[in-house]
Chain A
């Protein structure tokens, strides 16, 4: 499981308080749901909260807070904020 951690690859790898930009999605079924809820490529996301036991997580995206499971978050590819 240990990856070379240059920059977190997916939303599930973010650390608390860390921000990133949504790049793309790897899961078609989940991406539709997330896109509809405003998780668009290019949007800035920030990891706001992690539930006890490490899952689910809460992110701040386009002005509101969204809770989602790590399994869903790991299908969101992110890139660093410039």
Chain B
């Protein structure tokens, strides 16, 4: 007899896979079972995250059993279609996979019993027929509180008898039945002893077989599901829907929610971002003062620490953005947004489900692209991933503000509209239009035989579960810090090397030159003289460095856009992340302090173009530069995440080239019109 009885060895680990329909409360149950002991990793060769968590469950026979829970993506049937679903099905069937479970924990939505039983009976049949060895199935009958509220009752023992597997009624939301469920999982379990729907292949797609399976399910649940008193359906949800999907109120409320989210992402996160920045400034000053001078300290402070600050500083924005997204998802509002936006999005080759990634892109394209997984249609998902980085993300904001302050006069039009504000808004609009326009073009370029669907459950409205919200934030921040972080650190180290080293002895010659100057300078020039001297050394070194030479090298290519070699360096360093622009310009214009953007602005404003004898930064140059930053793919983390999510190198490469060409063209046209 095959059982999965856990032996009492301390190393014994039971692998339990959670599977169930979307919206069945599977994630809530997973969070309760594992608490904070969970982690997200990639399935090898696939783009879907594997969520695993650990727990120690005391068994009745004494001692504890270590259990590894694996949260699989939600699915409606084993005839999987979307990427998420396919991963789930493959893992269950591949007995040689190291994550192949010892027990399948099927999470059923008791308030949707019939539909839940469709996948449940498929899973039981699969275990009985296809798996060698067969593995036990336990059904957690979730949402029993909802069933009670609706005046119904489910005889779980009878259901268990008929299905031939243990059925444990629980309610993850109110945490009832969890202990008993845990005990059932670690107790000796029998594998399924019979098939529910004999002899017919599970995978074969056929209407009559699906109908037949449902007929058998109806027989099984008849007598198990008892209606004590007929109550009205979810009146609250349908009334709320009347407002939230209303043709006027629906959109107005949606826009209001968006405003709230973006205002918060920009303004609330500004405070923690400032704290993080000052903390890093403190650390790097401390490092400069305390560490012995030398290559290693320089790498540590100006390479690794600088790169690290560039990552950590975005954590508040990402956390806040996902705080709101988690609430919108958990309450069921997100499904309604997709519902009211589908028709508009479809015209542009997108799907109702594309709205969320596009909106998240205004904060940061990295989490936005990660949220495209719910789009099951390959073409629509690729288009969404492809155009999302065109939305103006928060990293472009410092670039825009610096340049707008430089070239746009702060005058008021029509009495109250500030020109600078209008230009900033226009930049966001341009990004959005470019995204929508590119999507429209891709709709005709990409070939796909796959049909576009929008068949989506609109779950009842629920109050958000704060534990889910908190864990989602933690999860997303972790993925951002560790996955994207690795790439950013690597690039910052390379940039540090290129900007602080030059070929031959060019650096030591500059140092010698300035040593002579400072020797000649009398002491009376005081501290200010020293600072500006150090700034000049840094600026001259930068020009002689590999990065400077690179800037000079690409100057002919960017000259038609109105840029000189200094902007060229900034374009190169901005490749790691756009916001590096401000810092690079500050270094180039020999201003020691990066945060002092007033003086960068003044230095940039007073610079004279030797060819024209006019200011270097004219409106045409500023606009051209802004457009370049609006369109160009200058973000390593985004490219890394696109590669990770599409699994192909092709997509980040095409995206990089396309956005680069778009940027070049837009800058070229704008510069030549306004020159």
Q: Which residues of A contact B (CB under 8 A)?
A: 25, 28-38, 40-41, 48-49, 51-56, 58, 60, 62-69, 72
Contact = CB atoms under 8 A, between A and B. Distances in A.
Interface residues of B, number: 41
Centre residue among A25, A51, A55, A58 by max chain B CB count within 10 A? A51
A56 B454 contact: yes
Contact of B247 (A52, A68, A69): A52
B331 interface: no
10 contacts: A33-B81, A35-B214, A40-B211, A53-B247, A56-B342, A64-B458, A65-B241, A65-B457, A66-B458, A67-B335
Contact of A37 (B247, B335, B457): B457
Contacts of A28: 207
Given A36-B76, A37-B115, A72 B339 contact: no
A63 B111 contact: yes
B455 interface: yes
A29 B114 CA distance: 22
B118 to A, nearest CB: 6
A81 B415 CA distance: 63
A41 B111 contact: no
B79 A32 contact: yes
Interface in B177-219: 205, 207, 210-211, 214
Question: What 7 A-B pairs have minimum CB-CB distances, sorted nearest first?
Answer: A52-B247, A38-B115, A35-B210, A65-B458, A36-B77, A67-B456, A69-B454
Contacts of A54: 343
B251 interface: yes
A32 B457 contact: no
B207 A67 contact: no
A25 B460 CA distance: 27
Nearest to B238: A48
A36 B79 CA distance: 9
Contact of A72 (B207, B245, B454): B454
Contact of A32 (B111, B205, B237, B352): B205
Nearest to B248: A52
B342 A72 contact: no
A60 B237 CA distance: 12
Contacts of B81: 33
B114 A67 contact: no
B123 to A, nearest CB: 14
A41 B211 contact: yes
Contacts of B338: 67
Nearest to A69: B454
B505 interface: no
Contacts of A48: 238, 241
B340 interface: yes
A40 B211 CA distance: 7
B340 A51 contact: yes
Contacts of B458: 58, 64-67
Contacts of B250: 52
Interface of B: 76-77, 79, 81, 111-112, 114-115, 118, 205, 207, 210-211, 214, 233, 237-238, 241-242, 245-247, 250-251, 335, 338-340, 342-344, 352, 451, 453-460
B339 A67 contact: yes
A36 B118 contact: yes
A35 B340 CA distance: 24
Nearest to A50: B245
Nearest to B207: A31
A15 to B, nearest CB: 16
B112 A62 contact: yes
A56 B343 contact: yes
A28 B79 CA distance: 14
B457 A67 contact: yes
A7 B343 CA distance: 27
Contacts of A25: 207
Contacts of B79: 32, 36
Nearest to A36: B77
Nearest to B113: A63
Nearest to B242: A49
Contacts of A49: 238, 241-242, 245
Contacts of A63: 111-112, 114-115
A35 B247 CA distance: 30
Given A36-B118, A52-B245, 13 more contacts: A32-B79, A35-B207, A36-B210, A37-B115, A38-B114, A40-B214, A49-B238, A56-B454, A64-B459, A67-B338, A68-B454, A69-B453, A69-B455
Nearest to B246: A52
A42 to B, nearest CB: 9
Given A62-B112, A68-B455, A55 B207 contact: no
B70 to A, nearest CB: 23
Contacts of B455: 30, 33-34, 37, 66-69, 72
Contact of B456 (A36, A52, A53, A68): A68
Contacts of A69: 342, 453-455
A47 to B, nearest CB: 12
Nearest to B208: A35
B118 A29 contact: no
Nearest to A55: B343
Contacts of B340: 51-52
A56 B457 contact: no
Centre residue among B81, B111, B454 by max chain A CB count within 10 A? B454
A27 to B, nearest CB: 9
Contacts of B339: 51, 56, 58, 67
A52 B251 contact: yes
B333 to A, nearest CB: 13
A21 to B, nearest CB: 14
A30 B211 CA distance: 14
Given A53-B344, A62-B112, A38 B454 contact: no
A56 B352 contact: yes
Nearest to B456: A67
A58 to B, nearest CB: 6
A7 B214 CA distance: 28
Contacts of A37: 76, 115, 455, 457
A66 B456 contact: yes
B114 A62 contact: yes
Nearest to B335: A67
A25 B205 CA distance: 15
Nearest to B116: A38
